[in-house]
Structure 1
Amino acid sequence: MVQEVEIEFKNLLTYDEYNRIYQFLPFKSVELFEQTNYYFETKDLKLREQGAALRIRHKNNKWVLTLKQPHSEGLLETHDELSPDEANLWIQNKTTKKPDVAKQLNQLGVAEDELIYLGSLTTRRCEVDYQDTTVVLDHSLYYGKEDFELEVEADTYVEGDAVFSHLLKELNIPKRPTDNKIKRFYQAKLESE
């Protein structure tokens, strides 16, 4: 089973703050890339109620189905690769059973045929390695909205928190409570209905 624990720190940014971080770290030397997340949920929001989220991400010509669940140190991610045809079927609400994600969904009391496609969020992303972490700048577009975000991904909570706090302090950026992308996506979807 392909699983990993994701430890990350997030902060929404203004466009100015985004540019400050972009200039401060060597982002000019890395390529900006685009990824799209396609989100799924049950009609009665079973995943959301359990703090879980399900997406297909299209990045670098790969399609990956990922279930995110709460974990004591961050989020537990379970992955299954999809073919382009399988991904297309999922987006048309014709889900196919994928072994690792299906096992985790079953533990949450969710069947694949209950899942419905909600919509997509596209992110323009750049990443740099910095002090044993990965620092990410995201510009995301969804439901007529856009936002800018700093993410620090680390192997341990202590490392990630130290780098995250250092960057915010060094660049005089206030720490803001920041929902993850799927929560921001849900909010924008509700506002658009």
Structure 2
Amino acid sequence: MSQEIEIEFKNLLTEKEYMRMLEGLPFEKESFTEQTNYYFETEDMQLKENGAALRIRHKGDSWTMTLKEPHPEGLLETHDTIDERQADQWIQNRGAKQPNITKQLEAMGIDSADLRFLGSLATRRREIDYKNTTVTLDYSRYFQVQDYELEIEANSKAQGETVFEELLDRFSIPKRETKNKIRRFYEARMQSD
């Protein structure tokens, strides 16, 4: 099964903080990737009740469906690779069951036929390898919202936290309680209804 544990640290940034980090770290200024996340949930929010989230990510020529679930070390991510036609079917609420994700959903008592497309979030992402972590600067757009975010992905909590604290200190950025993208997406969606 295609699974991994995601250990990450996040902090929302102001546009000025984002620009300072973009200029102060060795990012290639004109090099970025565009990706779009398409989010799904049941009418009665069963995924949210389980602390889980489901998305399809379109990045370049690839489409990946990912289920994120709580895990003691971070988040357990379960993946299925799909194609554009399958993604389209999911967005039209006619998605076919996927081998890895369906198994995880069924363990939570969720029928994939009950999932509905909620909307999308587009991100312009810049990434660098930095002190045995991946440092990411994201600029995201969803509903009427634009936000900027620092993400540190690491193989261990200790390493990730060290780099996270160092960068916040180096760029004089206050630590902010930062919800993950899907939570921010849900809140913006509720406000737009």
Q: TM-score, normalised by structure 1?
A: 0.99
Aligned residue type for 2:20: R
Q: Secondary structure at the match of 1:158?
A: helix
The 5-angstrom pairing of residues 27-176 of structure 1 reads 27-28=27-28, 31-176=31-176
Rounded to whole Å, the distance in 2 between the matches of 1:164 and 1:31 is 22
Partner AA of 1:28 in structure 2: E
Residue 178 of structure 2 aligns to which amino acid in structure 1? T
Shift of 1:83: 1.3
Q: Which runs of 5+ in 1 are unaligned?
A: none
**What is the CA RMSD across the aligned residues, in angstroms?**
0.8
Determine if contact 1:8/1:154 at 8 Å carries over to the other structure. yes
Q: Report the CA distance between 1:29 and its aligned residue.
A: 5.8
Tell me the matched-pair count: 193
Structure 1 counterpart of 2:124, which letter? Answer: R
SS of aligned partner of 1:188: helix
Gap regions ≥5 residues in structure 2: none
- Measure how far apart 1:152 and its partner are: 0.3
Cα deviation code 1:36-71 (max 9, x no counterpart): 000000000000011000000000210101000000
Rounded to whole Å, the distance in 2 between the matches of 1:189 and 1:49 is 17
Q: What amino acid sits opposite 1:78 in the alignment?
A: T
1:183 paired residue number: 183
CA deviation after TM superposition for structure 1 residue 28, in Å: 2.4
Q: Given the two structures, how large is their TM-score scaled by the length of structure 2?
A: 0.99
Instruction: Answer whether contact 2:55 2:67 (CA < 8 A) is retained.
Output: yes
Deviation of 1:95 (Å): 1.4
Matched, 1:14 2:18: no
- Runs of 4+ residues deviating >3 angstroms: none
